[in-house]
Amino acid sequence: MSANAVAEDDASVDQSPNPIVRFLQGAKLLGQTLYVEGLTLVEHAEQAGVEIPTNCTSGTCGACMVTLLFGDVPLPMELPPGLDDYLVEEGARLGCIGRPAGDVDIDIRPPL
């Protein structure tokens, strides 16, 4: 077997499937979609056929608050008015401004 063939075999083993954004309500899977860099949680939810209520679309009102169960949805440097430190510790993210960074599981219910 040539060195190129070995490298190709190794590359195929190391490739992971495309990241998935999953939306749940408790233990019930409501929908899922492929991760698309730059889309918000609300936009991913729309692609998955899941409705997340929104109002302001700027992170101010908190109407789109969801709970991050798994994965990473980075927070802005300064928390928007719709979030506080306690809510963040409980897994709260705002769907209108939150952009996942790969695979995530989101409960569409807020953490409270």
In tens, the pLDDT along 14-26 reads 445 899 999 999 9
**Kind of pairing, strands 20-25 and 104-107?**
parallel
**DSSP string covering 17-60, please?**
PPPEEEEEETTEEEEEEE--TT--HHHHHHHHT-----SSSSSS
DSSP state of 63: T
Neighbours of 101 (CB within 10 A): 12
pLDDT tens digits, 46-105: 999 999 999 999 999 999 999 999 999 999 999 999 999 999 999 999 999 999 999 999
What's the pLDDT score for residue 73?
A: 98
Total domain count, the chain: 1
What's the pLDDT score for residue 112?
A: 82
Is the residue at 61 inside a domain? Answer: yes
**CA atoms of 100 and 52, how far apart (whole Å):** 15
Is the residue at 3 inside a domain? Answer: no
CATH number of residue 58's parent domain: 3.10.20.30
Is the residue at 1 inside a domain? Answer: no
Is the residue at 67 inside a domain? Answer: yes
Q: Is 94 exposed, middle or buried (0-12, 13-18, 19+ CB in 10 A)?
A: buried
Is the residue at 44 inside a domain? Answer: yes
Q: Which domain holds residue 79?
A: 18-107
Radius of gyration (C-alpha) of the chain in whole angstroms: 17
Amino acid at 28: K
Is the residue at 46 inside a domain? Answer: yes
